[in-house]
Amino acid sequence: MATIIPFRAVRPTRDKVSLVAARSYQSYTLEQLEARLRDNPFSFLHIVNPGYKYDKVISGQERYNLVRNRYLEFKEDHIFVQDAQPNYYIYKIVDRDRQEFNGIVAAASALDYEKDTIKKHEDTIEPREVVFKDYLKTVGFNAEPVLLTYPDNTIIAEVIEATQTERAEFEFTTTYRDTHYLWKVSDAATVAKIREEFKAMPTIYIADGHHRSSSSFLLYKDEKERNPNHKGDESYNFFMAYLIPESDLKIHEFNRIVKDLNGLTKEEFLIELDTIYRIENRGNMPYKPTQKHHFSMYLDGEFYSLYLRKTGYTIETSLDALDAQILYKTILQPILGIEDLRDDARIAYVNGKKDVINVKSSIDSGSYAVGFGMVPVDIEEIKQIANEGLKMPPKSTFIEPKLRSGVTIYEF
């Protein structure tokens, strides 16, 4: 039984939203970040990068305090205004490839996260959880929703479709040619209908945002312990989420590139692979796999197809059957000596939305020695792994949509 409730979002004014909305801070290069901070005084990046005002790199608690100050300034200047009553927010994205995503921005329950009603499929790193929890506690808001997904639901789909016949509160296009739309849902009967439909769902799944959701859960635990009059309806009991139906998710793979062959020659490396894979040299024509347990490899100017030998690998769980796990257990760990997929500097990742040529270029430049590609996972694999309480390897999925920060803000 999922508790998904409306909330009073803090939002940019209609005339400023296109200027405020920003991608995730980490997604910008230093040059891009500098240009946006220099040329756009309304960008949400000014809030999360408060040191720019003082031409100084600021970190830790000092930065958190200044983020809070910049946020309050945006409210004082009426760049941000809080809605008078709780709403659900229908949010639609049409990207440059004409892919369309339709969902609902709402508040999800930290208790549901604890009870595993909200299911996870990725491990989180505790120090990162604590850092972001401390950040949330100081700044008092969350501006980037966790992406949750739910089974396709006819009634919710009808509500979304009917709402979108009205004029949108927001409609703006980014420099990346993605168009964003937002509608408020405040009608009591419609709000109740949405809430009841989610309440009837036994589970929903995190698609993207495991660290954000786990940090929000830690904040909830801290605040609950500190509040002797805790009732369960305080704002810290919830976190902001964007919920979309499973059919709307777009899941890409992450390709792997490795700096060296762990002391092996090319010939020695291929012989090691031959033990567990059928190998075919595809020459210099780009190759991408089309089936599970098939991989592409780019090495020394040539593409190869790798087909897993059925007798050389045992599958006992849904995690064992995951291609990212197979690649790790058969090549990355035993042959290339990569134990820690998160922190080993010898491995990097290229999201599968980018062309296979990106992998080729990294190898051809000499920065990396070998690259591997696979087919994307599907939603059923994600759900099965989550249902079994297992965790995927890092960078197993690159999932869309990606929302902009600062369009809807949840205050604690």
pLDDT, tens only, 112-143: 999 999 999 998 888 889 999 999 999 999 99
Is the pLDDT at 357 greater than 90, yes or no?
no
List CB contacts of 72: < 8 A, sequence separation 6 or more: none
* Residue 88 near residue 160 (C-beta atoms within 8 A): no
Residue 354, pLDDT above cutoff 80: no
pLDDT of residue 56: 87
* Residue-level pLDDT at 57: 87
Domain extents for the chain? Answer: 4-250+400-411, 254-375
Tokens of 374: 């696979």
Closest CA to 195 of 236, 141, 231, 155: 155
The closest alpha carbon to 120, from 55, 64, 203, 15, belongs to 203
Amino acid at 82: Q
Q: Is the whole model's pTM more than 0.85, yes or no?
A: yes
Q: Which residue has the tokens 């990097």?
A: 348
Distance (Å, whole) CA 355 – CA 93: 23
Contact 269, 175 (CB under 8 A): no
Percent of the chain with pLDDT over 70: 100
Report residue 287 as tokens: 């190759």
More confident residue, 343 or 320: 320
Work out whether strand 88-94 and strand 410-411 pair parallel, antiparallel, or are unpaired: unpaired
Tokens of 57: 């790199």
Q: What does the pLDDT look like over 274-317, one tens digit per residue?
A: 999 999 999 999 999 999 999 999 999 999 999 999 888 999 99
Mention every residue, 6+ apart, whose C-beta is less than 8 A from residue 49: 25, 33, 37
User: Which H or E element spans position 90?
Assistant: strand 88-94
Question: First CA to last CA across the chain, in angstroms?
Answer: 23
Q: What is the pLDDT of residue 136?
A: 97
- The DSSP 8-state label assigned to residue 259 in this structure reads S
How far, in Å, CA of 402 to CA of 95, rounded? 10
Lowest model confidence (mean pLDDT) among 173-177, 198-202, 279-283, 324-328? 173-177
Is residue 305 within 8 Å of 280, Cβ to Cβ?
Answer: yes
Position 64 scores a pLDDT of 96
Cα-trace Rg, the chain: 23
User: For residue 160, what are the β-bridge partners?
Assistant: none
- pLDDT, position 227: 97
The pLDDT confidence band at residue 361, using thresholds 50, 70 and 90, is very high
Which residues, other chains included, contact 317 with Cβ-Cβ below 8 Å and sequence gap of 6+?
388, 390
Distance (Å, rounded) from C-alpha 227 to C-alpha 360?
A: 55
In this prediction, residue 310 carries a pLDDT of: 83
The dihedrals phi and psi of 333, each to the nearest 5 degrees, come to -80, -55
Q: What are the structure tokens assigned to 202, written together? A: 């036994």
CATH number belonging to domain 254-375: 3.30.1760
What pLDDT, on the 0 to 100 scale, is given for residue 96?
87
pLDDT in tens, 84-115: 999 999 999 999 888 999 999 999 999 999 99
Least confident of 99-108, 340-349, 364-373: 340-349
Q: Answer whether residue 176 shows pLDDT above 80.
A: yes
In 3-state terms the chain splits into helix, strand, coil percentages (rounded to 5) of 35, 25, 40
pLDDT at position 26, please?
A: 82
Q: Chain-wide mean pLDDT for the chain?
A: 95
Determine the length of the chain. 412
Quick one: which H or E segment has residue 136? Answer: helix 126-139
